[in-house]
Structure 1
Amino acid sequence: MKRGLTVTQLVEVARVRALCLNGLAGRIREMSGLTLQEVADVVGTSGTSVRRWELGEVRPSAEHAIRYGDLLDRVWLVVGGGRPMADLQRPEPAVSSSFPEFWADAPAAGGSGVSRTALREAS
């Protein structure tokens, strides 16, 4: 029986694919000054493939995503200045103004039945 990916590896693949789709992977590479070909040589693919991942045109294979993720993590340690990767995220699309109010009184995580508003007021 062929053994597939572990849960940890599968989560890493999903994380890297999300970094590609939201543009963070390309932004991290560009901040580092690495070329598409330099990244491709380390990951084991072509520069064109890396660019297509970064543009969200195609998804990297699981094997390539794991290698690319390792490289992005190491590069981010150097260029990120200790900031979380999420600081680079592009602004979220505008949502209706009623959206935040709708969720303000939703039950807090964990099923306590206490609203988020009540939790904020209690802290």
Structure 2
Amino acid sequence: RYIVFVSKHHEGYTNWPSKNSFNWNSMDVGPKRDLLGELASAIRNKTDIHFGVYHSLFEWFNPLYLEDKANNWSTTRFVDEKTMPELYDLVNTYKPEVIWSDGDWGAPDTYWKSKEFLAWLYNDRSVDSHLD
């Protein structure tokens, strides 16, 4: 049994106080709460359900994403400055057992730096011990 909660959707809104969300998150706008953190804590403390996160890789209207797209994915500012820092933060802070990344269809995996992220995820013992 598992739950996969939306950490960020394609509009860029995050359900945790992401430092990379430009104040477009559940702590600054809306409920004024770390919804992801509260749910992760409740799941881990009160159930035996595995905790996971859904994370949209892209953001429809983010200027960095649009710039990279206009450059035919030859630049990676959006990935370097937004996507990867968010994924690292998610893993380090909330330690999900499942990560469902979505929205990679518009650009190649090399743009998203998928191999680099997976290498970090599975080779850093301080990170992957909860993935065993």
Task: Give the TM-score taking structure 1 as reference length.
Answer: 0.26
Q: Which has more strand, going by share of residues?
A: 2
Give the structure with higher Rg (CA).
Answer: 1
Task: Give the TM-score taking structure 2 as reference length.
Answer: 0.25
